[in-house]
Every structure is written in C-alpha cells, then in structure tokens.
C-alpha cells in the first residue's frame, strides 16, 4: 500500500525576512481586511469574508475566491508577497511558489493530469508589495523572461511569470490606498517608525514611540493595542543595530558619500589610512557625525577604529575642515 509522503517545500532556502514582512501578515491576518485588499486590487465588490480561502506558503500568501463564478470557469489564484528590499528575482520566486500551489491544487481537486479532456485551472495573479528605502515607482512589472540568457536566434522561451510590484511606501499609490484603509494605515505606521528612528539612537525607544503615536492617531489601533509587545519585539528582532545604523546613514549622508559607501568606501578608507590619506577619512567621519550618527555607528559603517573616530570628533580639528560646525 502506498503511503502518503509528507511534502517537503523547503528545498529552496528562505531568508530571515525583516520585521515588515512578518508585520504585513499580522496586519492582514483578518479575512475582512484581506478581502478589502483583494477588492482594491481587482476592482471587485465581494462582501462576504468567508468567500475568501486563504493559505500560507512559507512567506507568501495566496488567495482564491471559493463559490466565485469566475473561479468555477477559470477563477483566480492570487499570490501576494511583501518585500522590504527590491528584488528583481521575484518572478522566479513566483514561478516556484505558483508551481507548488498548482501542485497542491491538482492534488486537492484530484485532477487527472493524464486525462484526454482539458482540465481548467485558476488564473494566476502575482502581486509584490514593496516598501523598502530604495526609491521605486508606484508600479513596476517584473518578468521572468528578463532573466533568461539572450540567444542569437529568435527562439522564444516556453515560460513566463509576471510580478506586479506595487510601491506601498507612504505617498505612493494613493488611489489604491484610498480603496484599502488597512493598507494605508500600514504605510503610515512604517513611515512613522522611520521618522522616529531618525530622532534617536535608541531603536527600542523609537519603535515604542512610533507605536504609541499610531495608537493615539487610530492607525492600526486594533493590532497595535492587542499585539503591542509582539509588534515592538517583531520590529526589533530583525531591525537589528546594523540595519538601524545603515538606515541612519543612508538617510542622513549626502548622495555623494552614499554612493561612495555603495562602491566600497569602507575599503577605500582603510586603504587611504594605510597610505596616510587621513584627511578624507576624517572629513567623512565629521559628516557622518553631523548627520546624527554616533561614534559607534560611524566606526561600524566605515571600519575605522572606534578610538580614532572618538578622538577626531572630540578634537574637531580636522585638516581642511577648520571653521566647520
């Protein structure tokens, strides 16, 4: 007798996502809110939350409308995923997710793949909700075919998977936000966290303050009041000091220095020190300090010894920077 084997969907490693990925799922844990999001994206008017079948797959969520006519004649299978960093490989991830979902669908519906009649499948839709710090347009279409190696002839790939990436940072996709109040409040909460984090070097204080502000302003109040400690812990677990310092740096330093860090200025500073070119390193340290970074944060960002950073800041006697405040 054939035993049912437990499916293993962990072949592909799943990264430890930032707090916003987990928070997004907590915010949309209620079927009513998830249905509102579904309606906002599809311009539909479903009113019964029980019409929404929800299943989770690792860090993804897929939705399908049961007892929906469109589902019966083709239906929809919507894959929703949240990303706090820009990832051009989302179509490939989506292809893997969708393949697993269809595999489960075929098994659940007892569909005979060897049948001589055409078996209908739900139509796939893949949305990626993005709210990272890297500037992105309101909507970006990511295609699997963009990742394929180019060939000299006109051969066409047999696969395609399209991901619609929606920027849900505060101030983006305003029409969508007006259709889904929950999404709008989530956007405001994340923006509030960022604002408070710029005001202090204490992440816990910043996050707690952001939560209190949003509760007072009725922003995600039900979630934040009921799960306050959990939300704060959720944020701080992945919002570690290194990530925090990086965000402070990226928000507070001039574009030129940011580009320098991106190109490896950390190694450049070390090399400069070895060659005796300390003036450049000192100037960068001063600018980072004036942007609100602590000596510890500056040392970690640049790789410069913490004692040297403190000494330069205390003396404020930078060669070539005299008179700067």
d(CA 41, CA 139): 12
Are 229 and 265 in a shared domain?
no
Q: Is residue 3 part of a domain?
A: no
Are 210 and 311 in a shared domain?
no
Mean pLDDT, each 10-residue run in order, the chain (325 residues): 46 44 82 89 87 71 51 60 89 90 87 93 90 92 93 84 96 96 96 90 90 97 94 74 54 52 56 56 77 78 81 63 39
Which 8-state DSSP code applies to residue 264? Answer: T
The last residue of one of the domains, among 169, 203, 237, is 237
Are 188 and 298 in a shared domain?
no
Number of domains composing the chain: 2
Which residues 6+ apart lie within 8 Å of 60 measured at CB? 79, 80, 81, 97
Q: Is residue 272 part of a domain?
A: yes
Q: Is residue 242 part of a domain?
A: no
- The single residue listed with the structure tokens 């890297």 is 134
User: For residue 282, what are the CA distances in angstroms to 115, 195, 198, 248?
Assistant: 73, 28, 23, 19
Are 289 and 171 in a shared domain?
no
Are 76 and 188 in a shared domain?
yes
Are 207 and 281 in a shared domain?
no
The last residue of one of the domains, among 202, 237, 272, is 237
Residue-level pLDDT at 257: 55
Print the domain residue range for 302: 254-315
Residue-level pLDDT at 311: 85
Helices (H) and strands (E) in the chain, counts: 15, 6
Q: Is residue 321 part of a domain?
A: no
Q: Which residue pairs from 221-226 have beta carbons closer than 8 angstroms and sit at least 24 positions apart in sequence?
A: 223/26, 223/27, 224/189
Are 231 and 261 in a shared domain?
no
Residue-level pLDDT at 278: 65
Are 163 and 116 in a shared domain?
yes
Are 232 and 259 in a shared domain?
no
Residue-level pLDDT at 279: 67
Spatial CA neighbour of 301 closest among 240, 239, 249: 249
Spatial CA neighbour of 186 closest among 175, 198, 177, 195: 177
Which 8-state DSSP code applies to residue 217? Answer: T
Residue-level pLDDT at 277: 52
Are 174 and 303 in a shared domain?
no
Are 307 and 178 in a shared domain?
no
Are 76 and 132 in a shared domain?
yes
pTM: 0.67
Residue-level pLDDT at 317: 45
Q: Is residue 245 part of a domain?
A: no
Residue-level pLDDT at 54: 78
Q: Is residue 244 part of a domain?
A: no
Residue-level pLDDT at 318: 41
Residue-level pLDDT at 5: 46
Residue-level pLDDT at 233: 85
């Amino acid at each position: 007798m054939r035993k049912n084997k437990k499916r293993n969907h962990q072949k592909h490693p799943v990264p430890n996502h930032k707090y916003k990925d987990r928070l997004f799922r907590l915010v949309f844990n209620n079927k009513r809110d998830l249905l509102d999001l579904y309606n906002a994206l599809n311009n539909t008017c479903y009113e019964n939350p029980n019409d929404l079948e929800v299943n989770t797959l690792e860090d993804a969520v897929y939705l399908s409308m049961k007892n929906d006519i469109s589902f019966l004649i083709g239906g929809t299978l919507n894959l929703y995923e949240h990303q706090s960093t820009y990832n051009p490989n989302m179509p490939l991830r989506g292809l893997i997710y969708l393949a697993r979902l269809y595999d489960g669908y075929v098994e659940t519906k007892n569909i005979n793949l060897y049948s001589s009649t055409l078996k209908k499948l739900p139509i796939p839709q893949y949305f990626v909700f993005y709210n990272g710090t890297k500037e992105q347009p309101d909507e970006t279409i990511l295609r699997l075919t963009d990742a394929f190696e180019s060939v000299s002839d006109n051969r066409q790939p047999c696969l395609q998977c399209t991901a619609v990436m929606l920027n849900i940072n505060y101030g983006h996709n305003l029409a969508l936000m007006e259709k889904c109040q929950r999404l709008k409040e989530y956007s405001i909460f994340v923006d509030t966290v960022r604002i408070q984090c710029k005001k202090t070097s204490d992440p816990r204080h910043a996050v707690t303050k952001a939560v209190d502000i949003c509760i007072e302003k009725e922003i995600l109040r039900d979630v934040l009041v009921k799960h306050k400690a959990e939300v704060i812990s959720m944020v701080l677990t992945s919002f570690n000091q290194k990530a925090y310092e990086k965000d402070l740096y990226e928000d507070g330093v001039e574009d030129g220095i940011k580009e320098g860090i991106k190109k490896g200025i950390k190694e450049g500073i070390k090399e400069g020190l070895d060659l005796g070119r300390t003036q450049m390193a000192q100037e960068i340290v001063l600018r980072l300090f004036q942007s609100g970074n602590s000596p510890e944060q500056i040392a970690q960002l640049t790789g410069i010894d913490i004692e040297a950073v403190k000494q330069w800041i205390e003396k404020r006697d930078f060669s070539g920077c005299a008179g700067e405040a």
